[in-house]
Each structure stands twice: as C-alpha cells, then as structure tokens.
Amino acid sequence: MPTTTLILGLGDSGLAMARWLARSGEAVRVWDSRAEPPQAAALAEHVPSATVLSAPLDEAALAGIKRVLKSPGLSPTDDRIAALLAAAHAANFPVQGELDLFVEALDALRIRGARTDALTTAAGVRDFVDTLAWVGSRATWAARFAPLQLPGADPGTCAVGRWSHVSREDVGLIASEYRTLVHRRMEVPMPYTPPAREGGLRGCLLCGVGSIVTTESLAADAWGSLERVQTGTIGGANRASSARGHLCPNCRAAVEQVGAPGMSAVERALMNHLGFKVRYGSTVNFTDESVVHGWAALPPGTPANDEPWAHLDLPRITRALQVEYYAEPIAESAR
C-alpha cells in the first residue's frame, strides 16, 4: 500500500508540510521547479529521508504515491503541474493542501488518540503550532484571495478590478479568522484540571489523570461533558449512586469506540496508553482481571493521578499483555 506523499513546491509551506508528515512517520517526495528551492537546505536538515525531484514532472512522480499536497504559491493551472494534477485527479489521488493537513492535525489534537502521542506533551503541542498554524492561516488567505487556487478556476474569467472577486464580507471574515489564528499561535500550552462540578470527581473517571496539557482555546472542550459511571462496571464494588465526573480525551475516545464507559472502555483506553494496538471490535483477556480497574472505582477521596493509570501496576500489566500477545498470536489473527 502506498505510503508516500508527493509535495509540490519547496518554499516555506512545502517545508512545513514535509516536516509535519515526516514527524507523523510518513515518507515524502518533494518537487520544485527551481534548481535551488528556497528551503532545500532546511529540508535536508529536518527531513533527511525526503526525496527531492526537480526535473519536469511527469506521471512517474505519482508512482507509489497515496496523495498529493500542493503549496498555495503554485496555481493549479500552472503548466508545470497541470498535467500531473489532471493525472492525479483521473487516478483518484487526493490532491490537497496544507489547510487539509492543518485540519487533520487539529482533529488529532482534540482526540489525542494512540496514534497522535506526539501531541500529548506541551513540547509536542508547541511544535504542532510552530509547524502548522501559520501555514494554515496562509493557506486560508491563499484560497480565499487567489481565485486561481479554487478548483475549476478559469483564468479567462478573471475580474476586471484587482481583488474585486473578494467581497467585503469575506475580507472582514478572513481578517477576524486571522486574528484568531494569531492569538492561538501565541498561546502557551498548560495543564487544565476537570471543570469543578457539584459531586464531580477531579480526575478522569477511567485513567484518573488530574490534568490535561492543552491550549486555552482548546481547553473548553478538552474534558468533555459530565459523565456518570457505575463503579461496579469499571472493576470496583457496586455503590448506591454512580460516580460523576469527566473523561480525558484518550479515555473519551475509547468510550466512543466501545459505546459505554465500562470495562471494555477501561481495557481499550489502557491498551492504547500502553502502546498495544487494539483492533476495532477485538477484546482483551487480561490474565488477572482483578489488577485492572477504572480510577473512579477507588474509594471516594482518592487523589487524582499525576500520570494516567498511575493507580495500576503498569509494569505487571504490561508483562501480562506481552505474554498474552506473544504467546497467543491468535488474538490478532483470529479475526
């Protein structure tokens, strides 16, 4: 299965896209028409594994490619890339830009699942913002203000007046979006505790973590809505009333995958945290189930964890899972 992305243009945004993809473990091939692209040296430094193409583009450049990302400075009608883009469209390759990567990265930042662990630390979030935020804003500008960037744009129908294709409303909108983006770029990621609610516990109901590192603009929905959990369903003793509180993004993703905040969600969130791949629909049989339980099942008054799942014996569970997975590969192949 192709895993390489072809990036067209090696200026600032081409470089940012290449760095982001390489950081996500993807192979990149970068094309630029210039003999000495402005960011060639930076690419060699930050993404030494990247292949650089400079010859005129032909369909061979698409070999083994899963998608094409175009820098905003290149018009889709540019003679040097138009034929390749047409071939990519004909072959149903996605042709995207850095705004698509930006949106994917924002999604990842909100969910912060096992695949995006680069975004679960303050340094990771800061790197994300440094690498992609300004590029996202730039792409927004390019798409809105350069009509030839739009799909199906026809150079023959250009407006008579300069910028007259941009409405006053759009100018106001983009200016305010840009201000918001600039504001986000200035934000410093910091820990946020769960919202204080009457009777609500102050750690993630499942993993018990007491704070999430995120930015101010993402903090409002980082902890999700108030949830109720029957302690008997997450490995504890049954109580007269359910535990109330919030879920961290990782545990919320696990609950969404399995449908309810019970033992399956506990196991899935824990497996993700420990780096074991869990296929959708598969179940885990812990060697000794009594060692695994959600944090909210602990006695009332138990302080929140500094790190997710710190209330469990993680080395012991990891050893049990390794035995389970290596001794019985059937768990992976039975499906």
> Which listed residue (8, 28, 248, 265) binds Zn ion by CB under 5 A?
248
Distance of closest approach, residue 273 Cβ to Zn ion, in angstroms: 8
Q: Which amino acid is at 206?
A: L
Site string for Zn ion, 249-268 (x = CB under 5 A): --x-----------------
- When asked if residue 204 is in the footprint of Zn ion (CB under 5 A), the reply is yes
DSSP 286: -
**C-beta of 133 vs 248, nearer to Zn ion:** 248
Tokens of 73: 């400075």
**C-beta of 69 vs 205, nearer to Zn ion:** 205
Distance of closest approach, residue 207 Cβ to Zn ion, in angstroms: 3
Distance of closest approach, residue 275 Cβ to Zn ion, in angstroms: 16
Q: Are strands 227-229 and 212-214 parallel, antiparallel or unpaired?
A: unpaired
- When asked if residue 218 is in the footprint of Zn ion (CB under 5 A), the reply is no
**C-beta of 50 vs 248, nearer to Zn ion:** 248
Distance of closest approach, residue 294 Cβ to Zn ion, in angstroms: 9
**C-beta of 76 vs 261, nearer to Zn ion:** 261
Tokens of 238: 């049954």
Tokens of 153: 């744009």
Task: Reduce the DSSP state of residue 265 to 3 states and report it.
Answer: helix
Distance of closest approach, residue 84 Cβ to Zn ion, in angstroms: 45
Residue where the block lists tokens 């203000």? 145
- When asked if residue 284 is in the footprint of Zn ion (CB under 5 A), the reply is no
φ and ψ at residue 58, rounded to 5 degrees:
-135, -175
Point out which span in 26-34, 67-75, 151-159, 203-211 binds Zn ion (CB under 5 A): 203-211
Q: CB neighbours of 244 closer than 8 A, spacing ≥ 6?
A: 197, 199, 200, 201, 226, 227, 228, 229
- When asked if residue 207 is in the footprint of Zn ion (CB under 5 A), the reply is yes
Measured in whole angstroms, how far is the alpha carbon of residue 149 from the centre of its chain? 25
Say what the alpha-carbon torsion angle 52, 55, 60, 62 is, to the nearest 10 degrees.
50
Q: Which amino acid is at 79?
A: D
**Residue 270 CB-half CA count within 13 A:** 34
Distance of closest approach, residue 252 Cβ to Zn ion, in angstroms: 8
Distance of closest approach, residue 203 Cβ to Zn ion, in angstroms: 8
Tokens of 112: 């912060």
**C-beta of 251 vs 258, nearer to Zn ion:** 251
Point out which span in 129-137, 149-157, 181-189, 242-250 binds Zn ion (CB under 5 A): 242-250
Q: Which residue ranges make up the site for Zn ion (CB under 5 A)?
A: 204, 206-207, 248, 251
